[in-house]
Amino acid sequence: PEVIEYQFRAWGFTRREREVAEALLRGLSISEIADELYIAEQTTKDHLYRVYAKAGVVPCRGWGPLRLYRLVHGLPPVERRAD
């Protein structure tokens, strides 16, 4: 969708960072992204680190993809509840 491409450009993602972010938004795991893009899992993690940093997302286990999705679509960030 155009809104996603627009936001990725605004954040200054490289071509590979866009590919990794798109795969993440499709729900792929790190290992699935690595397999799909023919890159090492550590390289995938490195790209995701830069994606999150450029998007201003603080990754926490299981929440990073949702936070990125919400930012791309102009929704307010999700806050973790203190239990």
- The 10s digit of each residue's pLDDT in 40-76 is 999 998 998 898 888 877 666 555 666 677 667 665 5
Report which of residues 60 and 23 the model is more confident about.
23
Band (14; pLDDT cuts 50, 70, 90): very high
Position 34 scores a pLDDT of 95
Position 79 scores a pLDDT of 56
Position 4 scores a pLDDT of 84
Torsion (CA) 41, 45, 51, 55 in degrees, nearest 10: 140
* Spacing of C-alpha 70 from chain mean position: 11
Q: pTM for this structure?
A: 0.76
Q: Are 13 and 54 in contact (CB under 8 A)?
A: yes
Position 52 scores a pLDDT of 84
